[in-house]
C-alpha cells in the first residue's frame, strides 16, 4: 500500500466506508453503475441471441438460396439442379413444392377441426442436403412413402394429433371443383385425400412448428397438378453469408425467367427490425449509465466541499493542481471499476440463469413473461458477443471518468489561502 502513488493512496483512504452522507451517495453510485452495466449486458446479449437463433432456425428449416420462376412452375428442374450443383460453393440442391392447403382432422371423438396450413413437398433423399428437417424428428419417423406426412410439434399440440392419426387435405384444385359445383348442376363434389401422420418434427421456431406439414414431392405435385414440374429448388451453400455473391455467380448460367432469392431476402425486414431494436435499446439503456455518472459527480462535488480545508493543506505543502485533480479523479475511476466489474459479474450470472428465472416468475406470478406464441422460441436465447461486452464496459468506464472531471478540476484550481479559510 505504501508503494502506491499518494494520489491513489488518498483516494482509497477517502473511499473507506464511513457512516456519512457522502459514503451513502458513493454506494448508490456504485450500485447505479452496477445495474446499468448488468442491464446493458443482459439486454444486448439477449437481442444478439434472438438474432443468432432466428438465423439458425431460418437456415435449419429453409435453404440459403431458392431458385424459382415468375409463374412458380419450374419444368426442367433436373437440368437446372445440375447447373446449380456445378458451382463450387454449392453443397446441395433439392426440389420443392410449397403452398397452402386446408386440413381437416378426424378425431375418434368430438368434432373435426379445420385449419389452413402450409404444405411443402420434398424429396426425402435430397432434403437432408439442404435443411435439418430430417434430423428434427421428435416422434415417429421421416417416412413420406405413400400417403404419409410429417407435421410440426406446434400443430400437433394445438390439435392433439399423434403419430398414426389421419388427416384430410383439401388442395386448391378441390376449391375450384367446389366453385364449379356451386354454379353447375352437374359439378363434381371433390373428395379430399386421406393422409397418415408418420412423424412429428420440431425445429425450435414456433412459426415453422405450427404452420407447416411435409409430404413427398410426388404427392405435392398431384395436389397442385404440377405433373413433372416443381415450384422451385432449394440450394445450400458453404457460407450463408456469401449468399448474395453466389446468387450473382449463378444468375448468368440459369434461364432468363429464373428468379433467385436468398435467405436474407426472405427475412430481411425482420432481421433489419431486430438490428434497429438492438441499437435503440443500447442507446436508451445507456442513459442508465449517464444517471449513474451524475450520481458519481454529485458525490464528488459534495466530497470536494467537505474536504476543502484538507485540499488547502495539501496545496500549502506543495501539492500541484494536477496531483489534487488526480486524487478525486482516481475516486471516480475506482467507483467506475467497482461498478463495471460487479455489473459484468451480475450480468453474466443473470444470463446463465435467465430461463430458470423465467420459470420462477411464472410460478410466482402465474404470468408467462416469454410466451412462445409471441416470440417463437421455447427458451430465452442468449449470445455473448465479446465486442459488445468490451464496448459496454469501456463506454461505462469512460462515462464514470468524465463524470469526475468537473469536480476534480474544481478541486485542483482551489487556492490554498481560500481553501484554508473555508471559502
Residue 293: which residues within 8 A CB-CB, separation 6 or more? 399, 400, 402, 403
Count Cβ atoms below 10 Å from residue 50 Cβ, excluding itself: 20
Tell me how far apart the terminal alpha carbons of the chain are, to the nearest angstrom. Answer: 33
Separation of alpha carbons 61 and 154, rounded Å = 15
Residue keyed to cell 409463374: 71
The predicted structure's pLDDT at residue 121: 93
Are 216 and 144 in contact by the 8 Å Cβ rule? The answer is: yes
In the prediction, which pLDDT does 342 show? 92
- Residue written as cell 428468379? 259
3-state secondary structure of 113: coil
Q: Report the interhelical angle of 268-306 vs 21-61 (nearest 10°).
A: 170
Closest CA to 408 of 4, 11, 57, 2: 11
All 3 cell numbers of residue 9? 493512496
Q: Give the count of beta carbons closer than 10 Å to the beta carbon of residue 68.
A: 21
Distance CA 386, CA 83 (A): 41
Q: What is the pLDDT of residue 181?
A: 67
Could you state, in chain order, the average pLDDT of each consecutive group of 10 residues for the chain (423 residues)? Answer: 59 60 71 88 87 79 88 88 90 92 83 88 90 88 91 89 90 74 66 87 84 92 89 91 88 86 77 77 79 78 73 71 77 85 92 85 77 67 89 88 82 68 56
Sequence spans of domains, the chain? 6-56+270-421, 71-256
User: Residues near 302 by Cβ (< 8 Å), separated by ≥ 6?
Assistant: 21, 22, 25
pLDDT of the residue at 56: 79
Please tell me the predicted confidence (pLDDT) of residue 10.
64
CA angle at 54 for the pair 49 and 56, rounded to the nearest 5°? 95
| Burial environment of residue 185 by CB neighbours within 10 A (0 to 12, 13 to 18, 19 or more) | exposed
pLDDT of residue 118: 93
What is the predicted pLDDT for the residue at 1?
46
Amino acid at each position: 500500500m505504501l508503494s502506491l502513488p499518494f494520489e491513489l493512496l488518498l483516494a482509497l483512504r477517502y473511499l473507506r466506508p464511513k457512516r456519512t452522507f457522502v459514503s451513502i451517495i458513493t454506494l448508490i453510485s456504485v450500485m447505479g453503475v452496477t445495474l446499468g452495466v448488468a442491464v446493458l449486458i443482459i439486454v444486448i446479449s439477449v437481442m444478439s441471441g434472438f438474432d443468432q437463433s432466428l438465423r439458425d432456425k431460418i437456415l435449419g428449416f429453409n435453404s440459403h438460396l431458392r431458385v424459382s420462376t415468375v409463374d412458380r412452375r419450374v419444368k426442367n428442374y433436373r437440368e437446372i439442379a445440375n447447373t446449380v450443383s456445378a458451382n463450387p460453393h454449392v453443397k446441395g440442391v433439392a426440389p420443392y413444392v410449397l403452398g397452402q392447403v386446408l386440413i381437416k382432422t378426424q378425431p375418434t371423438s368430438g368434432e373435426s377441426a379445420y385449419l389452413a396450413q402450409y404444405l411443402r413437398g420434398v424429396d426425402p433423399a435430397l432434403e437432408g442436403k439442404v435443411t435439418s428437417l430430417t434430423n428434427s424428428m421428435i416422434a415417429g419417423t421421416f417416412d413420406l412413402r405413400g400417403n404419409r406426412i410429417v407435421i410440426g410439434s406446434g400443430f400437433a399440440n394445438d390439435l392433439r394429433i399423434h403419430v398414426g392419426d389421419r388427416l384430410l387435405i383439401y388442395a386448391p384444385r378441390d376449391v375450384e371443383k367446389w366453385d364449379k359445383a356451386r354454379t353447375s348442376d352437374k359439378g363434381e363434389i371433390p373428395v379430399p385425400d386421406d393422409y397418415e401422420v408418420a412423424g412429428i418434427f420440431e425445429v425450435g421456431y414456433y412459426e415453422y412448428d405450427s404452420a407447416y406439414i411435409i409430404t413427398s414431392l410426388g404427392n405435392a405435385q398431384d395436389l397442385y397438378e404440377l405433373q413433372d414440374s416443381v415450384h422451385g429448388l432449394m440450394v445450400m451453400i458453404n457460407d450463408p453469408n456469401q449468399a448474395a455473391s453466389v446468387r450473382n455467380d449463378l444468375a448468368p448460367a440459369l434461364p432468363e425467367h429464373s428468379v433467385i432469392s436468398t435467405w436474407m431476402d426472405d427475412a430481411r425486414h425482420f432481421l433489419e427490425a431486430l438490428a434497429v431494436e438492438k441499437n435503440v435499446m443500447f442507446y436508451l439503456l445507456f442513459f442508465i449509465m449517464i444517471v449513474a455518472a451524475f450520481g458519481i459527480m454529485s458525490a464528488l462535488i459534495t466530497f470536494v466541499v467537505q474536504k476543502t480545508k484538507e485540499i488547502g493543506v495539501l496545496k500549502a505543502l506543495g501539492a500541484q493542481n494536477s496531483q489534487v485533480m488526480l486524487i478525486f479523479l482516481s475516486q471516480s475511476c475506482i467507483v467506475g471499476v467497482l461498478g463495471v466489474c460487479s455489473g459484468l459479474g451480475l450480468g453474466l450470472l443473470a444470463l446463465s440463469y435467465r430461463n430458470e428465472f423465467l420459470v420462477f416468475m411464472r410460478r410466482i406470478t402465474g404470468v408467462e413473461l416469454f410466451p412462445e406464441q409471441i416470440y417463437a422460441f421455447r427458451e430465452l436465447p442468449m449470445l455473448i458477443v465479446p465486442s459488445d461486452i468490451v464496448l459496454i464496459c469501456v463506454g461505462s468506464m469512460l462515462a464514470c471518468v468524465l463524470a469526475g472531471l468537473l469536480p476534480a478540476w474544481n478541486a485542483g484550481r482551489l487556492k490554498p489561502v481560500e481553501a484554508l479559510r473555508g471559502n
